[in-house]
Amino acid sequence: MTPAIEFSGITKFYRRRRFRSEKTAALSGVSFEVAQGEVCAFLGPNGAGKTTSMNILMGFIFPFSGRARVFGFQPGDVRAKKRIGFLPENFAFYRYLTAEKLLRFHLRLSGRQTPDPAGLITSLLTKVKLDSYKGLKIGKYSRGMMQRLGIAQALLGDPDLLVLDEPTSGLDPAGRKEVRDLILGLKAEGKTVFLSSHMLSEVEQVCDRVIIIDHGCVAGAGTMQQMLVENNQTEIVVDQLSAELETLLVEKGAQSLRETNRVRIICDSGLKRELTEALWANGCDVISLAPVRTSLEDTFLKLVGRTGGE
């Protein structure tokens, strides 16, 4: 099946100043693929090249070199755009229009044929909880309401691929949860979602795959499972641990952490069977055994070489 998104060796430079030849590399040989039906997060610190990549993907800006394809078409091709719903960062629209009129305008542009356009618009506004504000001019909307409206317009054309640049930006916790549920709903429908976000805990909950970009290069990519399992380690939790057994475990390369009512033992996954049997044999009650999972935030910070913050 043709990948929904294909980036191969994409390089992009920006001029530092107009009419000067000095250039800054925004993207350096960025390559990745997003399969159809995947929910893929595109992460990176500020200025890493996320929005530049999304703009190339939408055909708004052009790469210096490399090949980009959306459903096999060149970015900006009308055939590709027919299948895309896009939410730009800091969504903006004509302030004098109402939400209803804006969506009607976008529906006409999207070319989607529907027997009941008014019904579709109302259902979308209800979905993003803006139905009670549909008569209000957009100029009077709050930041969060604008974001909700942006999401509604992205969904308007029943797209196969949703490109969302910071979809939860400006939303309250309830709004963020609604967006999460919306993405999960789209995933269930088999839609492809490509989103950038700084809300890593949310990304962790909804995405199948993660691409991390830093300084214009792909710093890491993989499935969410791969991203959350670190160094193939396993954590064994037991109720108690004798000093002799602890010494034995440490000799085998395991690490023990004593807590109030339990002891956590971290070892290589290859040793988990041997150590668990030894613990059982010595009368320890094994409470749990699970692969060590780091949070996406830990992985992200490790890959972008930061110890915290931006």
Partner 1 sequence: MNIRIIATGALRSFLHNKVILLFGSLFVCVVLLMMTPLMTYKSMTNAANAQQMQGFVLSTVSGVMSLVSAFGSLLAAWAAADSVAGEMKSGTVLAVMARPLRRWEFLAGKFLGVLMLMAIYVTAMLGITILLSWLGGQHIQTSVWALLIYPLARYAMWAALAILFVTLVHPVLVMGIILIMMALVELFGSTSNHIAAWIRVPVHLVLPLTGLVSEDRFMVISRAPLKSFTWTSHLIALSYAADYALVCFLLAVFMFHRRELTRD
Shortest distance in whole angstroms from residue 92 CB to partner 1: 4
Which residue lies nearer to partner 1 by CB, 110 or 169? 110
Residues 45 and 215: their CA atoms lie apart, in Å, by 9
Sign of CA dihedral 175, 213, 158, 118: positive
Query: Tokens 């070199």 — which residue?
Result: 65
Shortest distance in whole angstroms from residue 78 CB to partner 1: 4
Which residue lies nearer to partner 1 by CB, 138 or 304? 138
Which residue lies nearer to partner 1 by CB, 55 or 196? 55
Shortest distance in whole angstroms from residue 266 CB to partner 1: 47
Shortest distance in whole angstroms from residue 68 CB to partner 1: 14
Which residue lies nearer to partner 1 by CB, 97 or 292? 97
What are the residues binding partner 1 (CB under 8 A)? 55, 58-62, 78-79, 81-82, 84-86, 88, 90-94, 96, 105-106, 108-111, 150, 153, 157
Shortest distance in whole angstroms from residue 70 CB to partner 1: 12
Which residue lies nearer to partner 1 by CB, 67 or 95? 95
